[in-house]
Structure 1
Amino acid sequence: MNNLSIQSQHNKSQNVAKDKNLYIIVGVTLTAIMGGLTIAPIQPALAEKFNISSAALVMTVFMIPVGIATPILGVLADRIGIKKVLVPSLILFAVAGGFASFSEDFNTLLGWRFLQGLGAAPLDSLALTMIGNIYTGRTIATVMAINASVIGISSAIYPLIGGALGELDWRYPFLLAVFAFPLVMLVLMVLKLPKRPTDIPKQNLRAYLKNTWKSVNNRSVAGLLFAIGATFMIQFGAIITFIPTLAGNSFGSSEFTNGIILCTSSFVLALTASQLGKLSQLTSEINLIKISFLISALALFITPLLPSLWLLLIPNVLFGISLAFALPSSLALLTGLSRQDSRGGFMAVNASVQSMGQALGPMLGSFALSLWGIHGVFFSAATFAIISFVVFGVLLTPVIQGASQGTSKENSISISEREVGVEVTEQLVNPPSFASPTILQTPVPQLFHLETNKVIELPEDFSIITIGKLSKSEVPDINLSEFPHAEFVSRKHAQIRFDGKDYFIQDMGSANGTYINKYPMLPGIWYKIAPQVRIGFGKRDMVSFVFQIS
């Protein structure tokens, strides 16, 4: 069983607003989505210019290399370094986009668009990879939310820019790609990426692919990837594709009006995502994802029932909130589960899942349309959202085998030596280190409570102990009932495991989550913990300990 490693250095005062790296990452994200959103509005002008019936191929040939090359380039970035892939990709994107604007025939334009798509292929996944490599703990979720806000705003603005430039000349939207050139200079001169940890040996390609697959082949990872894929299926299936159809057929709306309605969800996504840091202090990222599916189901269910055109703004507002809850939370959790030396390939898998969702959504929506009509599209999508809520909940519910009742007394914070058997079936994850306060050392493992300075002594040799809160039906090995803010602790909250050499902790599906150095743990996964690591139980990291071994 391999250990996954979350390798990064903790910074107590990460002020992302002052971090130059953040603005470069945002620039990469903006470049990644520029090639599609700025060109889509000028397809009619391209069809007229080149005397063809449809210019849809100009979008298709751009997306083909994105779907094919993204995983390959993600692996390459892990092998040779992010900058060595990012810089050539940005240059290719800019050059191909610039030359596309000088095309004199449609086939030449398609050739340049294919090359531009190849340049765009790794950008989105590399942006996410850099976020995971540079930031730690809940700062990852904050930066993911900022990134999602940028995507939301640009998704609304880019088509307007592309359309306005296209009114002047069809060539101008393609020339926007040259803005990638100054970004290349910033990547080379300003971007600071963490060095490869010295304790991670260089792997050959076979070992790398094997370890990357083991990282992905995980119940919780599958749940997060499912959530991302399902969200994109709903977005590109029911919302983007069929709300304009419903608006046009039922209310005779214009293309411009449809654009305003769809832009609403993008702006709401940006606004809500900007507040996600505060929301994640109130509940766990997993709960935010679950809530997002319920909000989507509500939005989809009411859409065909609305009696007037502008009331369609309501489901779009709801769906914008849903996207803001789901995507940054899912991506933050995924990023934390990946090893730094395989994160590029890991996030490339995520990008491929997104592409699959974008492709499957309209296809399944069209199938529903043929069977049940336009109303059936939204009712079936609402049903799918409910099913996704259930499936995600099942996949993120830990499988705990052989957990036993504890033997400690009601108010005791010291437990006796005891062995409890459990079969470990999930992967193990190494959290980042954290500099804790200096405390009195004893020759046993300890949990030092930061608020009260109380010490819980663990036995020197044990198999598994359960941490939780005393109730009529549950007597945990470590009872946190008497600690401040115990209301945030579940009856069966977490377990600590000792294999004779190393210590591991897993969340048992608690209501308010468990955190390592303020990084949210996924339930059912054993995380390897080292001395000086901070462990928090409950939302807002309210019941916090430092793990110590003398």
Structure 2
Amino acid sequence: MNFSDSRLLVLLAASSLIAMTGAILAPILPEMANSLHFETAQAGNLISFHFLTLAIFTPLLGILADRIGQIRLLLPSLICYAVFGISGVLMHSFTPLLATRALLGIANGGIAAAGLGLVSKLYQGEARAQAIAYVATTLTLANIVYPLIAGWIGTIDWHFVFGLYGLGIPLALWAAVVFYGSRQSTGLNVEALSTQKDTEKSSAESSQNATVSEVATPAQLFRQPQILKLLLCLALVSASVYALIVYLPIYMKTDMSSNTVSIGIVLATKAGGAALVSAFLVRRLVKQIGESWTIILGAVTMSLTLATMPYLHQMQTLLPVAILFGFGFGIVVPTLYSSLAELAPDNLQSTVLATGTGVSFLAQFLSPILLGFVFTHSNLPTVFYTTALVAVTVGLLNLLPKRSLVPAEE
């Protein structure tokens, strides 16, 4: 697996659109609010509302992907992404615009379900873990790059930013060429991706899946303790990182009197740290210490840095701690997804990975709501301590002994 693999490049480009959905709206929110005459507080919902529909529909679309094939879901999802995204510019009031954001979240769910399912089908073992790490890296980098592009376009006219959603159409055409047009030369049987068992698994994975393959339905699979534990861990990690995105800028503004440039630098370096670790370190860590201890290491790093932040009052001390937080996040997330992929039977991999994505985005949607209650009734340091406790819980959960997967009784 390398970057000359056009299939991988298509999937990475598709995954970047998931991050782009809300990221390109953030820089133009004030102009949109003034132009369309709605409150700035309402405008914040435009960034996060698609998380809710994405969380609800991604697991359902994962089941659909396993039944009809991942590529047959990916292509219409990309086209719908472009149509629903661009249509937002035609809305002249808050409610219709919010409706387009909801539809965009559903299209996002299709991209996530199909994309992760394809990664799991096309790559196995270490190659799959590395591919998932690349996806996590792409999502992180997209959260840095797309807001910069949107901010630049927005200086011309905020309406033009919605044109970026149109990238879904050329990407759908590219995916069609790669997965259908070249399948004879690559030997890729597209229809078989949703049903055929992979013959390249290692002996360890084969012995594990010999048990898991007996699990025939999603209902049976989601009764398995190890699957449920990993899904819970994904939710807790996602809630932690989104809390940092929301409350670290508030802390820097109120306690350190930082300007928007300084806040942007800290958030970008956090994301950069996560991207570097996801791309270059995760696979080595898993190989040396195993998946559980890799997750524990990342979760403890996140927790310690979160608990430390209220004691930091200068940029030169906060910056390296933010980078370390990014390291921890970049270690945990791809390892959790890789673990889920290894536990899922071949015919339910899209279902399981899509459920993980749905759980993650639901946690991101709920995180500012729940922690907002803590903030209202306490203070910012308490928010950081609470989030640190959430992160360390991920490590504690992975200290529990693994229970082997067995078919759940009807």
Whether the 8 Å contact between 2:36 and 2:93 is mirrored in structure 1 is yes
Give the aligned partner of residue 500 of structure 1: none
Q: Does 1:181 align with 2:160?
A: no
Q: How does 1:458-477 map to 2 (within 5 A)?
A: none
The 2-side partners of 1:91 and 1:197 are apart by: 25
Highest relative contact order (Cα 8 Å, sep 6+), 1 or 2? 2
Give the aligned partner of residue 334 of structure 2: 328
Whether the 8 Å contact between 2:70 and 2:194 is mirrored in structure 1 is no
Whether the 8 Å contact between 1:293 and 1:389 is mirrored in structure 2 is yes
The 2-side partners of 1:372 and 1:269 are apart by: 30
The 1-side partners of 2:406 and 2:126 are apart by: 22
Whether the 8 Å contact between 2:51 and 2:365 is mirrored in structure 1 is no
Q: Does 1:230 align with 2:236?
A: yes
Give the aligned partner of residue 295 of structure 2: 289
Q: Does 1:398 align with 2:402?
A: yes
Whether the 8 Å contact between 1:227 and 1:388 is mirrored in structure 2 is yes
Q: Displacement of 1:199 after TM fit?
A: 7.5
More strand by share: 1
Task: Return closer, same or farther for 1:117/1:156 CA change in 2, 3 Å cut-off.
Answer: same
Q: How does 1:297-376 map to 2 (within 5 A)?
A: 297-376=303-382
Give the aligned partner of residue 129 of structure 2: 141
Q: Does 1:172 align with 2:176?
A: no
Q: Displacement of 1:107 after TM fit?
A: 4.3
Whether the 8 Å contact between 2:58 and 2:357 is mirrored in structure 1 is yes
Q: Displacement of 1:105 after TM fit?
A: 4.3
Q: Aligned with 1:217: secondary structure?
A: coil
Q: Displacement of 1:380 after TM fit?
A: 2.5
Task: Return closer, same or farther for 1:340/1:304 CA change in 2, 3 Å cut-off.
Answer: same
* Structure 1 residues 369-399: Cα deviation after superposition (integer angstroms, max 9, x where no partner): 23431111222222333333212311xx135
Give the aligned partner of residue 31 of structure 1: 17
Counterpart selection for 1:247 from 247, 252, 259 = 252
The 1-side partners of 2:391 and 2:172 are apart by: 40
Q: Displacement of 1:354 after TM fit?
A: 0.2
The 1-side partners of 2:155 and 2:323 are apart by: 30
Q: Displacement of 1:48 after TM fit?
A: 0.8
Q: Displacement of 1:180 after TM fit?
A: 1.2
Task: Return closer, same or farther for 1:79/1:375 CA change in 2, 3 Å cut-off.
Answer: same
Gap regions ≥5 residues in structure 2:
180-187, 199-213
The 2-side partners of 1:108 and 1:380 are apart by: 36
Q: Does 1:99 align with 2:87?
A: yes
Gap regions ≥5 residues in structure 1:
1-14, 201-207, 400-424, 429-550
Task: Return closer, same or farther for 1:87/1:196 CA change in 2, 3 Å cut-off.
Answer: closer
Identity of aligned residues (%): 24
- The letter of the residue matching 2:341 is T
Counterpart selection for 1:79 from 55, 67, 78 = 67
Counterpart selection for 1:264 from 245, 261, 269 = 269
Whether the 8 Å contact between 2:10 and 2:171 is mirrored in structure 1 is yes
Whether the 8 Å contact between 2:70 and 2:193 is mirrored in structure 1 is no
More deviation, 267-276/359-368: 359-368
Q: Displacement of 1:99 after TM fit?
A: 2.8
Q: Displacement of 1:184 after TM fit?
A: 0.8
Give the aligned partner of residue 52 of structure 1: 38
Give the aligned partner of residue 154 of structure 1: 142
The 1-side partners of 2:196 and 2:377 are apart by: 58
TM-score relative to the length of structure 1: 0.65
- The letter of the residue matching 1:426 is L
Whether the 8 Å contact between 2:55 and 2:359 is mirrored in structure 1 is no
The 2-side partners of 1:355 and 1:167 are apart by: 30
Give the aligned partner of residue 211 of structure 1: 217
Q: Does 1:20 align with 2:6?
A: yes
Task: Return closer, same or farther for 1:46/1:230 CA change in 2, 3 Å cut-off.
Answer: same
Q: Aligned with 1:234: secondary structure?
A: helix
The 1-side partners of 2:197 and 2:85 are apart by: 41
Whether the 8 Å contact between 1:21 and 1:190 is mirrored in structure 2 is yes
* Structure 1 residues 113-156: Cα deviation after superposition (integer angstroms, max 9, x where no partner): 33333322221232211111110111111111111111111111
Whether the 8 Å contact between 1:128 and 1:335 is mirrored in structure 2 is no
Whether the 8 Å contact between 2:312 and 2:318 is mirrored in structure 1 is yes
Q: Displacement of 1:109 after TM fit?
A: 3.2
More helix by share: 2
Aligned residues: 379
Task: Return closer, same or farther for 1:345/1:368 CA change in 2, 3 Å cut-off.
Answer: same
Whether the 8 Å contact between 1:235 and 1:361 is mirrored in structure 2 is no
Q: Displacement of 1:27 after TM fit?
A: 1.3
Task: Return closer, same or farther for 1:61/1:242 CA change in 2, 3 Å cut-off.
Answer: closer
Whether the 8 Å contact between 1:149 and 1:271 is mirrored in structure 2 is yes
The 2-side partners of 1:21 and 1:186 are apart by: 10
Question: Max radius of gyration: which structure?
Answer: 1
The 1-side partners of 2:166 and 2:341 are apart by: 30
Whether the 8 Å contact between 1:34 and 1:158 is mirrored in structure 2 is yes
Task: Return closer, same or farther for 1:103/1:363 CA change in 2, 3 Å cut-off.
Answer: closer
The 2-side partners of 1:119 and 1:355 are apart by: 14
Give the aligned partner of residue 427 of structure 1: 406
CA RMSD of aligned residues (A): 2.3
Whether the 8 Å contact between 2:16 and 2:139 is mirrored in structure 1 is yes
Q: Displacement of 1:282 after TM fit?
A: 2.2
